[in-house]
Structure 1
Amino acid sequence: MDQTQPLRVWRMIGLVIMATLIFWGCSYYFIKWTANSYEQEAVAATSEATIHASKSVGNMIQGGLDSLDGIADSISEINYMDWDKTKKYLHHFDKKYNFIRISINSPDGKAYASDGTMFDVSDEVGFQKALQGISSISDPFLDKISNKEIITINSPLKFKGEVKGALSASRYTQDLYDALAVSFFKGHGYSQIIDQKGQVIIQSKNLEEDKSIDNIFESISIDSRNKKQLQIFKENITAKKSGVGIFWINGDSKMVGYSGIQGVEDWYILSVIPKDVIMAKASQMSQATFLLCVIMFVLLLIIFVNILLNKSKIRKQMERIAFEDELTHLSRTNKFVKDAQYLLKEKPNTKFAVLQFDIEQFKYINEIVGFHEGNSILIQVANSLTANTLDEDVIGRLGGDRFILFTSYDNKAELIIRIQVLTEQMSDYTFGNEEGFRLVINCGIYCIDDRQSDILTCIDRAGIACKSIKGGYKSSCTFFDEQLLLQIHEEQDIVRKMDAAMTNGEFIVYLQPKMDLRVNSFHGAEALVRWNDPQKGLISPAVFIPIFERNRFIVKLDLMVFKSVCIMLSKWIQEGIQPLPISVNISLITLYHNDFLLHLTNIINRYQVPARLIELELTESIVFQNLEFVRDILLELKRKGFSIAIDDFGTGYSSLNVLQYFPADVIKLDRAFLMSKSNDETGKIVIASMVKLARDLNMKVVAEGVETEAQIDFLKQIDCEIAQGYYFAKPMPVVEYESLIKST
Structure 2
Amino acid sequence: MNDPDAQSSPASDAGAAPAMPLRLLLRFTDTAYEQRFVKHYIAFYFRYVQASLVLGVVLILGDYLVDHIAYGSVESNLLRLTLAFPVLLAGLGYTLLPDARRHWQPVMSGFIITAAFFLFYTLTRIDAEGGEGLRSWVGVLNFTFLQFYCFVILGVQFRYALASGLIILLAFEYTLWQHAGLTTREAAYWSYHVLTLFILAAGIGWWREYLLRKEFVARAALDDSRAAAEQRALRLAHYDEVTGLPNRRLFAELAMPVIERARRGGTGCTVLHLEIDRLSGIHHVYGRGEGDAALADITQRIRLCIRSGDLPAVGQAGENTRVVARLGDNAFSIMLTDLDSQERASLVAQRLLVAVAQPVLVDAQPLVLSASIGIALFPGDARDFTGLMRCAEQAARAAAEAGGAQHMFFDEALNARARDRVLLETELRQAIRVGQLCLYYQPKVDVRDGRIVGAEALVRWQHPRRGLIPPGNFIPMAEESGLIVPLTDWVLHAACGSLRRWADAGLPSLPLSVNLPASSLSDARLLDQLDALMQRYELRPSCLMLELTETMLMRDVTSAISVLERLRAQGYGLALDDFGTGYSSLNYLKRLPVSELKIDRAFVIDVARGGRDGALAAAVITLGKELGLQVVAEGVETQEQSEFLSVRGCVLQQGYLHSRPVALGEFEAMLRAKAA
Q: TM-score range by the shorter chain?
A: 0.5 to 0.7
Deviation at 1:587, TM superposition (A): 0.9
Structure 2 letter corresponding to 1:713: E
Partner of 1:534: 464
1:353 alignment counterpart: 272
Greater gyration radius: 2
Q: How far does residue 335 in structure 1 lie from its aligned partner after superposition?
A: 4.3
Maintained 8 Å contact 1:701/1:720: yes
Query: Judging changes above 3 Å, is the alpha-carbon distance between structure 1 residues 601 and 711 closer, same or farther for their aligned structure 2 residues?
Result: same
Structure-2 residue corresponding to 1:623:
553
Of the three residues 574, 577, 590, the one matched with 2:520 is: 590
> Is contact 1:604-1:610 (8 Å) kept?
yes
Q: 1:447 aligns with which of 372, 375, 399?
A: 375
1:320 is displaced (CA, Å) by 3.6
**Does residue 739 of structure 1 match 2:633?**
no
Alignment check: 8 A CA contact 1:511 1:526 kept? yes
CA 1:391/1:361 → structure 2, altered by over 3 Å: closer, same or farther?
A: closer
After superposition, residues 127-146 of structure 1 pair within 5 angstroms as none
* Aligned residues between the structures: 460
In the aligned structure 1, how far is the partner of 2:352 from the partner of 2:238?
Answer: 29
Choose the corresponding residue for 1:562, options 492, 497, 515: 492
Q: CA deviation at 1:725?
A: 0.8
| Number of the residue aligned with 2:299 | 386
Q: Are residues 1:614 and 2:550 paired?
A: no
Query: How many Å apart are 1:387 and its aligned residue?
Result: 5.3
Structure-2 separation of matches of 1:297 and 1:543: 88
Which digits, 9 at most, give the CA deviation of each residue in 1:460-480, with x for residues without a partner?
Answer: 3333345568999x9877634
CA distance in 1, matches of 2:594, 2:297: 36
Q: Map 1:509-520 to 2 at 5 A.
A: 509-520=439-450
Equivalent residue, structure 1, for 2:430: 500
Taking the aligned partners of 1:529 and 1:378, their CA distance within structure 2 comes to 37
C-alpha contact (below 8 Å) 1:464/1:484 kept by paired residues: yes
Question: 2 CA distance for matches of 1:478 and 1:609?
Answer: 52
Q: 1:291 corresponds to which letter in structure 2?
A: V
Look up the match of 1:291. Answer: 156
State which drifts further: 378-387 or 616-625. 378-387
SS at match of 1:636: helix
Question: Does the aligned pair in 2 maintain the 1:444–1:462 contact within 8 Å?
Answer: no
Asked if 1 retains the 8 angstrom alpha-carbon contact of 2:456 and 2:512, the reply is yes
Mapped contact 1:330–1:382 kept (Cα < 8 A): no
Q: Distance between the aligned counterparts of 2:501 and 2:603, measured in 1?
A: 36
Give the counterpart of 1:723 among 637, 648, 653: 653
- Give 1:421's aligned residue: 357
Distance 1:470 1:545 in 2: 18
State the TM-score, normalizing by the size of structure 1. 0.52
Q: Determine if contact 1:325/1:397 at 8 Å carries over to the other structure.
A: yes
Find the residue that maps to 1:592 and give its secondary structure: coil
The CA deviation at 1:695 is 2.0
1:403 equivalent among 314, 322, 331: 331
Following superposition, the deviation at residue 637 of structure 1 comes to: 1.7
The offset of 1:338, in angstroms, is 7.0
Check whether the contact 1:356–1:462 (CA below 8 A) recurs between aligned residues.
no
Distance 1:682 1:742 in 2: 40
Amino acid at match of 1:559: D
- Taking only aligned residues, the RMSD between alpha carbons, in angstroms, comes to 5.1
Aligned to 1:552: 482
Check whether the contact 1:355–1:405 (CA below 8 A) recurs between aligned residues.
yes
What amino acid sits opposite 1:660 in the alignment? Answer: K
> Hey, what's the Cα distance between the residues in 2 that align with 1:412 and 1:674?
45
User: Given residue 507 of structure 1, which amino acid in structure 2 is its aligned partner?
Assistant: L
Partner of 2:248: 333
**1:323 and 2:242 aligned:** no
1:21 aligns with 2:64: no
The 1-side partners of 2:468 and 2:333 are apart by 41
* Structure 2 counterpart of 1:721, one-letter code: V
Task: Label 1:489 to 1:321 Cα distance change in 2 as closer, same or farther (>3 A).
Answer: closer
Superposed counterparts of 1:157-172, under 5 Å? none
Letter in 2 for 1:391: L
2:607–2:644: 8 Å Cα contact kept in structure 1? no
User: Is it true that 1:694 corresponds to 2:624 in the alignment?
Assistant: yes
The one-letter amino acid paired with 2:661 is P
- Give the distance between the partners of 1:477 and 1:627, measured in 2 at CA: 32
**Unaligned segments of structure 2, at least 5 residues:** 1-77, 104-151, 165-208, 214-219, 307-322, 337-344
Which of 576, 579, 584 pairs up with 1:646? Answer: 576
TM-score, normalising length: structure 2: 0.56
Q: Distance in 2 between matches of 1:588 and 1:571?
A: 29
Give yes or no for contact 2:240–2:246 (8 Å, CA) kept in 1: yes
Change in Cα spacing, 1:655 to 1:735, as seen in structure 2 (3 Å) is: same
Higher-strand-fraction structure: 1
**Between Structure 1 and Structure 2, which shows a larger proportion of helix residues?**
2
Counterpart residue identity of residue 470, structure 2 = S
8 Å CA contact retained: 1:678, 1:711: yes
Which residue of structure 1 aligns with residue 128 of structure 2? Answer: none
Contact 1:27 1:289 in 2 (8 A): no
Question: Could you say which residue in structure 2 is the equivalent of 1:483?
Answer: 413
User: Aligned AA for 1:638?
Assistant: R
